[in-house]
Amino acid sequence: MADSAAHILILDDDSDVACAAQLLLRRRYGRVATLHEPAGLAALLAAGVPDVVLLDLNFTPGRIDGAEGLAVLDLLRAQARPPAVIALTAYADVPLAVEALKRGAGDFITKPWDNARLVAAVDQALARRAARQPADGATAALMGESAAMRELKTMIASVGPTEANVMILGENGVGKELVARALHLASRRAAGTFLAVDMGALPESTFESELFGHRKGSFTDARADRAGRFQAARGGSLFLDEIGNMPLAAQAKLLTALERREVTPIGADRPEAIDVRIVSATNLDEVRLFDAAVFRPDLLFRLNTIVIRVPPLRERRDDIAGLLRHYLDAYERQYQRPARALGAAALARLQRHAWPGNVRALRHACERAVILGRDADYGVDDFGLAGAAPAAGAAPAPARAAEAGEDFSLGALERDAIAAALAQAKGNISHTAKMLGVSRAALYRKLGKHGI
């Protein structure tokens, strides 16, 4: 569950450890900073409180009591809106990590860590922090007043207070997780945990451990008991994102848990009852979703009691102007750039654009415009849309001679090819990757590289 707007801080006196974590996390999150001693923390907090802090518990060589790290934890928890804190500790310091949990840390990671475990911990920390964020109504984060968005918000208000399982359908970038969070906030479980899990990113070999938990000694690296996502979200909502990418064998295990309303941690003697509301999401089109070779019909029956379809941006063009202004304002503040107007011609072009990456692509385009724009007003070129696919239904442009200054670099051609494939696949990442002959992971890297 990558979040390009998230701010992560790694506070560790070992520069190699901090660098390794930074290299891993900056592939997924917008800003990943490092700090090697607590002395610089006050100045950093004055500039803005991070969303998540990865906190080492000892900084002075030879000290193992964790007093320094716990003091930093107290400082972080005293902030007006405190960050989520993940303690970093060696295996021998697990009792100290438990003390950090009692003092307000949300999780701990042992060093050396498993990369997937660290990313999952950060994702969970972001989800917990977002769930605590106050909002003016459950749907406050869903921007837009078009007819399609009003209908969506009405649906959330009706479905949210129920216990029905909900499946959210929509292209990549439309905001399926925001809809899931809105459902949680509108539910009777709003005071509980909202926990998001990227099902497509869970390795099949660790699927049961991640979802159902395990007992110490149940396999080679099981050094302690660990709760799974079902147990961690008890009393709240469990958001299963990208559920259409699950292997069929994993689908069968999930189905069993949902049917029995219980899970058995690996190595446990008896099952544990689960108390979560399931909200799932997929970018699969409904033809493929109902293909038994792709998705089990009996699992689909369990998940789609209510189906919510999130409209793509091209179907709510009335919202584009407001979204542009919102993200331009936000990035102007973030990068301390002067406020600039969006010219009428540029706005008209942006409203006609197909936006194959939906709101996510619009947000990236606004960030690019704020960073690279130099004129008094924002122009179309600032948003990096040259050569992008035309709006849906538009006639293809006729062949023409090359114009002076036109970019024929390999990078520009690659970006254009990706944008065109995304438009043809209606934003479906899996289909786009197949069309381009690359893996999903490679495509995500290229999307980030080109700001699509």
The string of pLDDT tens digits covering residues 108-163 is 888 888 888 888 888 888 877 765 554 445 667 788 889 899 899 999 988 999 99
DSSP letter, residue 236: S
Identify the pLDDT of residue 391: 44
> Is 80 a residue whose pLDDT tops 60?
yes
- Among the ranges given (89-93, 313-317, 339-343), the one the predictor scored with the smallest mean pLDDT: 89-93
Q: What are phi and psi of 169, to 5 degrees?
A: -110, 145
Q: Where are the domain boundaries for CATH 3.40.50.300 in the chain?
A: 147-311
CB 215 within 8 A of CB 233: no
Q: Check the CA dihedral 393-395-396-402 and report its sign.
A: negative
Question: Could you tell me the two tokens for 195?
Answer: 């926990």
AA identity, residue 85 = V
pLDDT at 393 over 50: no
The residue whose two tokens read 């301390």 is 336
The predicted structure's pLDDT at residue 353: 93
CATH code of the region 315-394+406-450: 1.10.8.60
pLDDT at 426: 63
Asked if the model's pLDDT at residue 416 lies above 80, the reply is no
Q: Coil, strand or helix: which one is 348?
A: helix
How far from 208 is each of 190, 205, 263, 266, 295, CA to CA, in Å? 27, 8, 9, 7, 19
Res. 275 pLDDT band, cuts 50 70 90: very high
Question: pLDDT class for 397, splitting at 50, 70, 90?
Answer: very low
Cβ atoms of 177 and 310 closer than 8 Å: no
Q: Which pLDDT belongs to residue 40?
A: 82
Give residue 396's pLDDT.
41
Asked whether the beta carbons of 373 and 379 are under 8 A apart, the reply is: yes
- CATH 3.40.50.2300 range(s) for the chain read 3-132
The secondary structure element, H or E, covering residue 232 is: helix 229-232
The DSSP output letter for 79 is S
265 vs 47, more confident: 265
CA-CA distances (angstroms) from residue 303 to 135, 280, 364, 380?
Answer: 27, 7, 32, 42
Coil, helix or strand for 269? coil
Tokens at 119, concatenated:
């990313």
Least confident of 69-78, 282-291, 385-394, 443-452: 385-394
The pLDDT assigned to 2 comes to: 56
CA atoms of 357 and 452, how far apart (whole Å) = 7
pLDDT at residue number 394: 41
Describe the chain by its helix, strand, coil percentages, rounded to 5.
45, 15, 40
Which DSSP string corresponds to 390-428? Answer: PPTTPPPPPP-PPPTT----HHHHHHHHHHHHHHHTTT-
Across residues 288-311, what is the average pLDDT?
93
Residue-wise pLDDT for 199-231, tens only, equals 888 888 888 888 998 888 888 777 888 888 999
> Which position has the token pair 């062949």?
399
Decide which of 2.30.30.110, 3.60.15.10, 3.30.420.40, 3.40.50.2300 is the CATH code for 3-132.
3.40.50.2300
Q: Which two tokens stand for residue 243?
A: 């559920």
Looking at the chain, which residues constitute the CATH 1.10.8.60 domain(s)? 315-394+406-450
Distance CA 414, CA 446 (A): 9
pLDDT at 263 over 60: yes
Confidence of residue 93 (pLDDT cuts 50, 70, 90): low
pLDDT at 201: 81
Please compute, for residue 4, the number of CA atoms within 13 A of its CA located in the half-sphere on the CB side: 20
Residue at 375: amino acid letter: D
Please report the pLDDT score of residue 76 as a whole number: 86
The answer for residues whose C-beta is within 8 angstroms of residue 215's C-beta and 6 or more apart is 222, 225, 265, 266, 267, 268
Contacts 24+ apart (CB under 8 A), 270-277: 272/231, 274/230, 274/231, 274/234, 275/234, 275/235, 276/230, 276/233, 276/234, 276/235, 276/236, 276/237, 276/238, 277/163, 277/165, 277/184, 277/187, 277/189, 277/236, 277/237, 277/238
Determine contact, residues 237/189, Cβ cutoff 8 Å.
Answer: yes
Name the fold adopted by 147-311: Rossmann fold (3.40.50)
Q: What is the pLDDT of residue 133?
A: 52
* Higher pLDDT among residues 177 and 106, named by residue: 177
* Whole-structure pTM value: 0.59
Least confident of 216-230, 270-284, 334-348: 216-230
Instruction: Determine what percent of the chain is predicted with pLDDT higher than 70.
Output: 87
Q: Does the pLDDT of residue 102 top 70, yes or no?
A: yes
DSSP secondary structure letters along 203-230:
-GGGHHHHHH-B-TTSSTT--S-B--HH
